[in-house]
Chain A
Amino acid sequence: MPAHTMAEKILAHSSRQPSVQPGQIVDGYVDLLYMHEMLALALKPFDEIGVKRIWDPSKCVVTIDHWVPPPTPEVARMHQAIREFCWAQGISRFHDVGDHGIIHQLVVERGYVHPGELVIGCDSHTNMAGAMGAFAAGIGATETAAVMATGKLWLKVPETIDVRVHGKLAERTVAKDVILKVIQTTGDDGAAYKAVEFHGDTIQAFPMNERFTLSNMTTEMGAKAGMIPSDATTKRYLEAVGAKDAYRALDADPGAVYVKTYDLDVDGMGPQVACPNNPANVKPVGEVAGAKIDMAFLGSCTNARIEDLRAAAELMKGEKVASRVRMIVTPASQAIYRQALKEGLAEIFLEAGATFTSSTCGPCFGGHMGVLAPKEVCISSTNRNYPGRMGSPEAQVYLGSPYTVAASALYGQITDPREV
């Protein structure tokens, strides 16, 4: 038996073939299709295809996350169209405002993503679900319509890059710092058209929330999918979210062929920051410490899980956000929002002078709920900092971990969280 990577194994299974090779074009049968507001854009092409019913409503998940609650009548109409479609099509896993979350977070915390599955989402950060040992890739609106109609899509079996990470990180240094270092190493197109697998003792030691951050930002390497082998940590997570039976161990075969292997020693590595205007423009936090900020944003599918909020609260308890700085904290889902209230984290942020909003993608993509003015500088726990990403094209965005965002908010300048 030839040895295969995780992507090859999953795509063989999803295309109903004994095995597949990189470069081969296959029809992948989708195990889970998940959608947010982009569904509204898929309705017209879906209608034009001429199929009345979606292929399998039980394999679809829909929520509303980009503009919640709707800021304009146009968006409200989008949400209305989505609701009407979900009800008419019998999509029972439709999570409306109040029950919502950023889709990538929602599908994992509800136990909808399982190892070995082909997961397709209508958003670039669908890669995040790969942390569960799934092959998860993003598509656009027209293709979303096509998957709804047929349950499948063509995929070129990608070559795989193996990213091996070893060593124990410094204090207050987390998966965000690791993935920024990885993106710096590969460049923001270093994994274009390719799949990424993570291995090594640093990865094995990461809990699921950290693994999600890693897989999430493989998008910023240009990757088609970013996978982490499923193991005891994945199993415990699935048990906790009520999907125990869906667990299976999945890893590449020994001797699987990688197009490239990176060996990264992160022993003792401290926090990293991606500087304007590219997620690969990464420096150790010490090199940019002192840069003045106007806003600190803790949010997005990348870093706004309960553990991220706890990390920020650990630094902010009893402290105040610096004068002339505003901080916005936006949990990745309403479940996290409720948990943050229970644990007293919301109170810590509010007492510190931050705002604490309901879950939305809002500021991360420059949509609403905290966009930037020209010349403003922001430290953000999000994933991209291309010009105009978070508002004005003349604004500047630094990307860092929740610790770095919180520490910077307190001092009004980019700050090494180990010095707080």
Chain B
Amino acid sequence: MQTTFSGRVWKFGDDVSTDHIIAGRYLTSTDPKVLAEHAMENVDPAFVKKVKPGDVIVAATNFGCGSSREQAPVALKAAGISCVVANTFARIFYRNSINIGFPVVECPGLHEKVKDGDTVTVDLAAGHIVLPSGETMPFHPLPPNILEILNAGGLVPKLRADLAARTPASP
């Protein structure tokens, strides 16, 4: 899978909840396109119109707190966001993102170093982020089991591959 993401920064603060990311009233839809139309609506109703494919969300602490709704990372991914970088994440949002093959990176301090519209490059393999000034910020590499899921494109392709490896070919 792709391991380098370059995009414009959209900054958000602390405690961006799943209610901000995708409101409960839209959860009756399972269509990523419909969910994408309402991504971040509770924070900035025009967000989806302004986002370009590849853009990066840079948040402060506790991004994705609240509900277990997987529609939250699905909505952001379908809206064109390539990757979310935050000081910290809420745990279910983090797991959901990895499971759908949506990269999320903990890089405490990036939020203070960038502004809206900056272009940053997130390099998952190298484990650093390149700022507009050329400065690089390292982040803790993802644990191997998580990287494996991301590399497979998500938990479903990972399990499919695992099962295929275990099942002997039919005679």
Query: CB within 8 Å of B: which residues of A?
Result: 25, 38, 40-41, 44-45, 48-51, 66-67, 72, 74-75, 78, 122-124, 126, 138-143, 145-146, 149-150, 154, 156, 188-189, 192-193, 222, 224, 278, 365-367, 371, 384, 386-389, 391, 393
**Stretch of B21-29, B51-59, B77-85, B114-122 with 4 or more beta carbons under 8 angstroms from chain A:** B21-29
Asked, given contacts A50-B160, A192-B90, A384-B66, whether A143 binds B95 with beta carbons under 8 Å apart, the answer is yes
B25 lies within 8 A of A367 (CB): yes
Given contacts A25-B143, A389-B24, contact A143 B66 (CB under 8 A): no
B85-99 interface code vs A (CB 8 A; 1 in, 0 out): 000111110011001
> In the complex where A49-B163, A192-B90 touch, is A222 in contact with B62 (Cβ < 8 A)?
yes
**A145, closest chain B residue (CB):** B156
Are B15 and A140 closer than 8 Å at their CB atoms? no
Partner of B25, one of A49, A149, A371: A371
Mark B residues whose CB is within 8 Å of A.
15, 17, 19-20, 23-25, 27-30, 41-43, 61-62, 65-71, 88-92, 95-96, 99-100, 143, 145, 154-156, 159-160, 163
CB-defined contacts of A126 to chain B, threshold 8 Å: 68
Chain A residues lying within 8 Å of B96, measured Cβ to Cβ, are 139-143
Closest to B69 in A: A140
Enumerate 5 A-B pairs (CB-CB under 8 Å) in ascending A order.
A48-B156, A66-B27, A72-B28, A124-B68, A192-B89
Nearest Cβ distance between residue B95 and chain A, in whole angstroms? Answer: 6
CB <8 Å contact, A138 and B62? no
Q: Are A142 and B65 in contact (CB under 8 A)?
A: no
Contact B28 A78 (CB under 8 A): yes
Given A142-B154, A146-B155, check contact A189 B65 (CB 8 Å).
yes
Beta-carbon contact of A387 and B88 below 8 Å: no
Interface residue from B65, B68, B156, B163 paired with A139 (Cβ < 8 Å): B68
B156 pairs with A388, CB closer than 8 A: no
B29 & A74 in contact (Cβ 8 Å cutoff): yes
